[in-house]
């Protein structure tokens, strides 16, 4: 815990500044009434106009307001306050992203209800039996109970799993019961309605048991041991430092960083593990449980309100010692954080694209520097940013060159689609079809990777060529046949497929163009009618419970063929999966994205890593086939040769020559409005006042590739600067108070995106 002496105290009658979780310019001064004591970091209730708002004591009063006019702090909140480090972190992130500090504070205060003492919550227990015979044993009671239930209600495998889990231990809250049984919460609710489960009030969600750091992990190989020892030493030494843990998939990176977590726990401090997509982390949680005996606290957007409240509270009380979470977990109020692990550090999912626009990997480094502790960045395909930091000596680096247990990396080959062309309306080449067939006939599993949800990315009228477009975005509507709808992947707009073309009135004239996973599934079922196929995309596998259930079905070999988007690319380990077919290797290479090549390389490498991860039998060697129209592209060359360094060197050279990140600085301004003329006017004004100098260049304004999004017209300006330039200062002088999503006249909004990842 942070020593309380680190927190200055303001006795009654004094004035303090209080930051509110609102997008205001800064903290406001308040008077502390006599008899009340407040500390920096403490949560306090203050008046704001006619409202009462909870904010945080940010420090001494700023002054400048007549003390007689200051309003009084109304009261203190009972929760522990924010640490000094947290306050500094919030200020830092606000300054870096040009956001109002209150908007950043809002991310740290995402659960206002957690500031109230915990309330009782509803948990579920199996329904009691009214008249069990006196002589039966506990097991028999359970069996009778289940028989009764089976007779009375419609039983499904999901319902049976829930009843089994409920019979095992103490009553569980809805979310936990559903998660443990790997079902949706509606299954539990259905059982409760049917009377097979009864609701009971329990004190609060149970506290997080301390992970058992004392237990030994797996016995590490020599290379793993060396890496683990270095990470542990860094924790012991204390102080800020970043280490890149760079190793091929399956080399044991997770086992290695578990050692560092164990040491932090031994020191009695907290650890945070960031994962790009926590919804898909079922196997990671399993590994953690295997190593530490308990589940860590989890933090992501799919938690219930009660769980959110309890977890926030457990973190701020220091009671939750290990948190695994998505990027927002970085803003939880840890009183004593001692380590951050950023797993899959290269992943673009760490970039938050709206509200406060930040990269959680980069901000995690800032958090570690402020807190003076270690950060471990983990990846098989590190970002150019991180590798450059290693090269220039700012970060340490550890390398795990081999797969654990001597398993070899899968053999990767490209299929030249110019030569092995599928028939029109089909997407699998002969070579890939044959490979799938061979794999299935051996009783192994195959993954066909296509990073496109739905049936077809474009629907057009055969008669007049009219394309079905989202009315609110510059984007085609994607056909989703399962849902029977057309959907916009940018704004969620949905519509039925029209019976007549809106342009030429032709009837039933629409043709689907291009493949999505659903369409691929159709082709596969023609080719391999006997194969058990599943589609794994974010709309078919929604949420952690569904993901866990899917993982289990694949592990239990209830599935032969997986057709998946990027949600299956990351981290999973399926022993029987020996073939990965990339249906469109070129998909990510088009478009004006600075990182298109790097990202495609990372994604394809990751998905290739799903093949043949276990070589318990010789024939389980993995195979990866990438369909491409550009077999000579440097990304394909790097993937087939396995020469990552050569590719990265070329990529780095190109960026260096262009003065692009990480060798130069970049920020984007996005001006948007429902009123196109108003947006254009603001953008033009910005361009007219743009900074210029030898190391600063402003490009634009130009209509954004997504020039219409959610009904707003968008223009972009790009500012490019040398590495030595203080981008925040330049931006601040240029756009100043207009930044931070502030609304300008005419409903114009200006967003500042420092270190942009999206160029749409
Ligand atoms: P990575 O994170 O690099 O992909 P993991 O840590 O997930 O690698 O390890 C891959 C697999 O190998 C896991 O099932 C893990 O338990 C196993 N493994 C790794 N190292 C060892 C070891 N030293 N002893 C036993 N199993 C190991
Ligand atoms: Zn749309």
**pLDDT tens track for 519-573:** 999 999 999 999 999 999 988 888 778 888 898 999 999 999 999 998 888 768 8
Range from 399-413, 500-514, 705-719 carrying the lowest mean pLDDT? 399-413
pLDDT value of position 257:
98
Distance, first Cα to last Cα, the chain: 44
Mean pLDDT for 11-19 is 81
Considering only CA atoms, which of 752, 760, 757 is closest in space to residue 349? 757
- Rounded CA-CA distance 245/260 in Å is 12
> Of residues 686 and 13, which shows the higher confidence score?
686
- Rounded CA-CA distance 423/396 in Å is 51
**Is residue 309 domain-resident?**
no
pLDDT value of position 13:
64
Does 753 score more than 60 pLDDT? Answer: yes
3-state percent breakdown (helix, strand, coil) of the chain, nearest 5: 35, 25, 40
Q: Decide which of 400, 426, 443 is a domain's last residue.
A: 400
**Is residue 634 domain-resident?**
yes
- 404 CA to centre of ligand 1 in angstroms: 6
pLDDT value of position 134:
42
pLDDT value of position 5:
34
Same domain, 608 and 645: yes
Same domain, 371 and 414: no
Q: Decide which of 653, 679, 706 is a domain's last residue.
A: 653
Range from 427-441, 712-726, 740-754 carrying the lowest mean pLDDT? 740-754
> Of residues 176 and 507, which shows the higher confidence score?
507
pLDDT value of position 408:
67
**Is residue 638 domain-resident?**
yes
- Tell me the ligand closest to 494's alpha carbon: 2
pLDDT exceeding 70 applies to what percent of the chain? 92
From the alpha carbon of 378, which atom of ligand 1 is closest?
2
- Rounded CA-CA distance 609/611 in Å is 5
Q: CB–CB of 715/680 below 8 Å?
A: yes
250 band by pLDDT with thresholds 50, 70 and 90 = confident
Q: Decide which of 372, 400, 428 is a domain's last residue.
A: 400
> Of residues 117 and 422, which shows the higher confidence score?
422
- Rounded CA-CA distance 108/330 in Å is 9
Does 245 score more than 90 pLDDT? Answer: yes
Same domain, 227 and 175: no
pLDDT value of position 557:
95
From the alpha carbon of 251, which atom of ligand 1 is closest?
3
Same domain, 636 and 681: no
pLDDT value of position 3:
37
- Rounded CA-CA distance 660/666 in Å is 7
11 band by pLDDT with thresholds 50, 70 and 90 = very low
> Of residues 741 and 253, which shows the higher confidence score?
253
Mean pLDDT for 92-106 is 96
Provide the 10 A C-beta neighbour count for residue 127: 19
pLDDT value of position 132:
41
pLDDT value of position 205:
61
> Of residues 617 and 490, which shows the higher confidence score?
490
> Of residues 56 and 155, which shows the higher confidence score?
56
Does 126 score more than 90 pLDDT? Answer: no
Q: Please tell me if the CB atom of residue 325 comes closer than 6 angstroms to any atom of ligand 1.
A: no
Highest mean pLDDT among 100-109, 121-130, 566-575, 613-622: 100-109
Range from 120-129, 324-333, 359-368, 593-602 carrying the lowest mean pLDDT? 120-129
Same domain, 588 and 614: yes
- Rounded CA-CA distance 149/191 in Å is 10
210 band by pLDDT with thresholds 50, 70 and 90 = confident
604 band by pLDDT with thresholds 50, 70 and 90 = very high
Q: CB–CB of 255/306 below 8 Å?
A: no
Does 8 score more than 80 pLDDT? Answer: no
> Of residues 485 and 742, which shows the higher confidence score?
485
Query: What average pLDDT is seen over the chain?
Result: 89
Same domain, 562 and 682: no
- Which SS3 state, helix, strand or coil, does residue 82 take? coil
Assign residue 378 the CATH number of its domain: 3.40.50.300
Does 426 score more than 90 pLDDT? Answer: yes
- 742 CA to centre of ligand 2 in angstroms: 23
43 forms beta bridges with 56
- Rounded CA-CA distance 307/175 in Å is 8
Q: Please tell me if the CB atom of residue 221 comes closer than 6 angstroms to any atom of ligand 1.
A: yes
Ion ligand 2, residue ranges at CB < 5 A: 470, 472-473, 488, 490-491, 493
**Is residue 176 domain-resident?**
yes
pLDDT value of position 145:
55
- 477 CA to centre of ligand 2 in angstroms: 8
Provide the 10 A C-beta neighbour count for residue 317: 14
Considering only CA atoms, which of 386, 398, 367 is closest in space to residue 271? 367
Mean pLDDT for 707-720 is 95
pLDDT value of position 122:
86
Range from 121-130, 273-282, 288-297 carrying the lowest mean pLDDT? 121-130
**pLDDT tens track for 460-471:** 999 999 999 999
Same domain, 168 and 149: yes
To the nearest 10 degrees (0 to 180), the angle between helices 430-441 and 517-527 is 70
Does 119 score more than 80 pLDDT? Answer: no
Q: How far is residue 530 from each of residues 515, 535, 580, measured CA to CA in Å?
A: 22, 16, 19
280 band by pLDDT with thresholds 50, 70 and 90 = low
DSSP secondary structure of 641-695 = HT-HHHHHHHHHHHHHHHT-TTSEEEEEEEEEESSHHHHHHHHHHHHHT---BTT
pLDDT value of position 4:
37
Residue 187 CA, chain-centre distance (Å), reads: 26
pLDDT value of position 142:
57
**pLDDT tens track for 656-689:** 999 999 999 999 999 999 999 999 999 999 999 9
- Rounded CA-CA distance 225/220 in Å is 5
Same domain, 431 and 382: no
> Of residues 571 and 603, which shows the higher confidence score?
603
Q: Please tell me if the CB atom of residue 251 comes closer than 6 angstroms to any atom of ligand 1.
A: yes
Q: For 433, how many CA atoms within 13 A lie in the half-sphere containing its CB? A: 19
- 709 CA to centre of ligand 2 in angstroms: 6
Same domain, 133 and 251: no
pLDDT value of position 44:
97
Considering only CA atoms, which of 493, 1, 547 is closest in space to residue 277? 547
Does 614 score more than 60 pLDDT? Answer: no
Q: Please tell me if the CB atom of residue 404 comes closer than 6 angstroms to any atom of ligand 1.
A: yes
Does 716 score more than 90 pLDDT? Answer: yes
Q: Please tell me if the CB atom of residue 252 comes closer than 6 angstroms to any atom of ligand 1.
A: yes
Same domain, 94 and 171: no
Burial 509-541 (b: 16+ CB within 10 A, else e): bbebebbbbbbbbebbeeebeebebbbbbebbb
pLDDT value of position 139:
56
Residue 6 CA, chain-centre distance (Å), reads: 34
**Is residue 371 domain-resident?**
yes
pLDDT value of position 463:
94
Q: Please tell me if the CB atom of residue 286 comes closer than 6 angstroms to any atom of ligand 1.
A: no
Q: Please tell me if the CB atom of residue 343 comes closer than 6 angstroms to any atom of ligand 1.
A: no
pLDDT value of position 130:
47
Name the domain count of the chain: 5
Residue nearest (by alpha carbon) to ligand 1 atom 18: 252
Q: How far is residue 440 from each of residues 152, 522, 533, 580, measured CA to CA in Å?
A: 41, 17, 11, 12
The residues, ordered by sequence, that sit 6+ positions from 372 with a Cβ below 8 Å of its Cβ are 238, 239, 240
Same domain, 130 and 266: no
Mean pLDDT for 153-161 is 87
Which of 288, 290, 404 for mutating ligand 1's site (highest number of atoms within 8 Å of CB)?
Answer: 404
**Is residue 215 domain-resident?**
no
**Is residue 341 domain-resident?**
yes
Assign residue 671 the CATH number of its domain: 3.30.70.600
Assign residue 68 the CATH number of its domain: 3.40.1440.60
pTM, entire model: 0.85
Same domain, 522 and 622: yes
Its domain, for residue 679, covers 664-754
**Is residue 296 domain-resident?**
yes
Mean pLDDT for 339-347 is 97
Q: Please tell me if the CB atom of residue 15 comes closer than 6 angstroms to any atom of ligand 1.
A: no
Residue nearest (by alpha carbon) to ligand 1 atom 10: 250
pLDDT value of position 457:
94
Range from 23-37, 46-60, 106-120 carrying the lowest mean pLDDT? 106-120
The residues, ordered by sequence, that sit 6+ positions from 81 with a Cβ below 8 Å of its Cβ are 7, 39, 40, 41, 42, 43, 56, 57
Residue with token string 């192994």: 444
């Amino acid at each position: 815990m942070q020593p309380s002496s680190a927190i200055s105290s303001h006795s009654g009658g004094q004035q303090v500044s209080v930051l509110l979780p609102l997008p205001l310019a800064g903290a406001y001064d308040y008077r502390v009434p006599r008899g009340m004591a407040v500390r920096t970091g403490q949560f306090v209730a203050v008046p704001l106009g006619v409202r009462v708002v909870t904010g945080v004591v940010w420090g001494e009063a700023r002054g400048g307001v007549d003390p007689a006019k200051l309003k009084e702090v109304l009261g203190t909140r009972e929760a522990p306050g924010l640490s000094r480090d947290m306050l500094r972190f919030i200020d830092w992130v606000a300054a870096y992203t040009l956001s109002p500090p209150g908007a950043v504070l809002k991310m740290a205060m995402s659960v206002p209800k957690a500031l109230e003492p915990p309330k009782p919550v509803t948990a579920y227990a199996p329904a009691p039996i009214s008249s069990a015979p006196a002589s039966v044993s506990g097991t028999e009671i359970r069996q009778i109970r289940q028989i009764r239930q089976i007779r009375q209600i419609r039983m499904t495998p999901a319902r049976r799993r829930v009843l089994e889990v409920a019979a095992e231990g103490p009553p569980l809250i809805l979310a936990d019961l559903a998660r443990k049984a790997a079902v949706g919460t509606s299954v539990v609710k259905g059982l409760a309605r049917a009377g097979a489960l009864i609701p009971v009030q329990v004190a609060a969600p149970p506290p997080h048991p301390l992970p058992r750091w004392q237990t030994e992990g797996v016995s590490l190989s020599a290379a793993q041991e060396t890496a683990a020892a270095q990470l542990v030493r860094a924790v012991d030494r204390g102080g800020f430092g970043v280490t890149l843990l760079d190793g091929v998939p399956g080399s044991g990176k997770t086992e290695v960083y578990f050692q560092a977590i164990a040491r932090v726990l031994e020191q009695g401090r907290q650890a945070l593990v960031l994962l790009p997509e926590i919804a898909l982390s079922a196997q990671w949680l399993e590994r953690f449980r295997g190593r530490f005996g308990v589940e860590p606290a989890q933090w992501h957007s799919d938690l219930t309100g009660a769980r959110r409240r309890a977890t926030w509270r457990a973190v701020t009380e220091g009671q939750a010692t290990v948190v695994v979470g998505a990027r927002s977990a970085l803003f939880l109020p840890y009183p004593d954080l001692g380590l951050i692990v950023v797993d899959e550090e290269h992943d673009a999912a760490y970039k938050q694209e709206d509200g406060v626009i930040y990269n959680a990997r980069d901000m995690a480094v800032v958090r570690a520097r402020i807190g003076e502790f270690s950060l471990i960045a983990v990846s098989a395909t590190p970002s150019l940013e991180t590798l450059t930091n290693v090269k220039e000596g700012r970060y340490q680096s550890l390398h795990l060159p081999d797969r654990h247990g001597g398993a070899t990396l899968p053999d990767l080959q490209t299929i030249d689609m110019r030569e092995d062309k599928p028939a029109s309306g089909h997407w699998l080449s002969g070579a890939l079809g044959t490979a799938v067939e061979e794999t299935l006939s051996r009783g192994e599993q195959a993954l066909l990777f296509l990073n496109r949800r739905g049936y077809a990315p474009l629907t057009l009228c055969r008669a007049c060529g009219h394309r079905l477009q989202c009315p609110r975005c510059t984007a085609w509507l994607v056909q989703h046949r399962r849902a029977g709808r057309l959907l916009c992947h940018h704004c969620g707009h949905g519509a039925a497929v029209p019976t007549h073309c809106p342009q030429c009135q032709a009837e039933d004239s629409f043709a689907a163009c291009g493949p999505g996973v659903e369409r691929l599934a159709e082709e596969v079922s023609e080719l391999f009618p006997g194969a058990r196929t599943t589609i794994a995309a974010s709309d078919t596998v929604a949420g952690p419970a569904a993901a866990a259930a899917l993982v289990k079905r694949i592990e239990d070999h209830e599935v032969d063929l997986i057709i998946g988007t990027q949600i299956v690319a990351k981290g999973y380990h399926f022993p029987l999966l020996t073939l990965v077919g990339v249906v469109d290797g070129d998909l990510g290479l088009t478009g004006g994205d600075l990182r298109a090549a790097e990202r495609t390389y990372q994604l394809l490498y990751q998905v290739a890593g799903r093949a043949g991860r276990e070589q318990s039998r010789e024939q389980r060697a993995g195979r990866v086939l990438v369909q491409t129209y550009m077999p000579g592209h440097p990304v394909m060359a790097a993937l087939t040769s396995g020469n990552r360094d050569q590719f990265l060197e070329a990529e780095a050279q190109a960026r260096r020559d262009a003065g692009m990140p990480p060798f130069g600085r970049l920020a984007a301004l996005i001006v948007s409005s429902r009123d196109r003329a108003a947006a254009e006017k603001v953008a033009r004004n910005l361009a007219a006042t743009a900074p210029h100098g030898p190391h600063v260049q402003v490009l634009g304004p130009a209509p954004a590739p997504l020039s219409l999004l959610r009904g707003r017209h968008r223009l972009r300006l790009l500012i490019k600067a040398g590495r030595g330039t203080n981008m925040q200062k330049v931006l601040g002088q240029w756009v100043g108070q207009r930044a931070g999503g502030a609304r300008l006249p005419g409903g114009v909004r200006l967003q500042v995106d420092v270190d942009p990842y999206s160029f749409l």
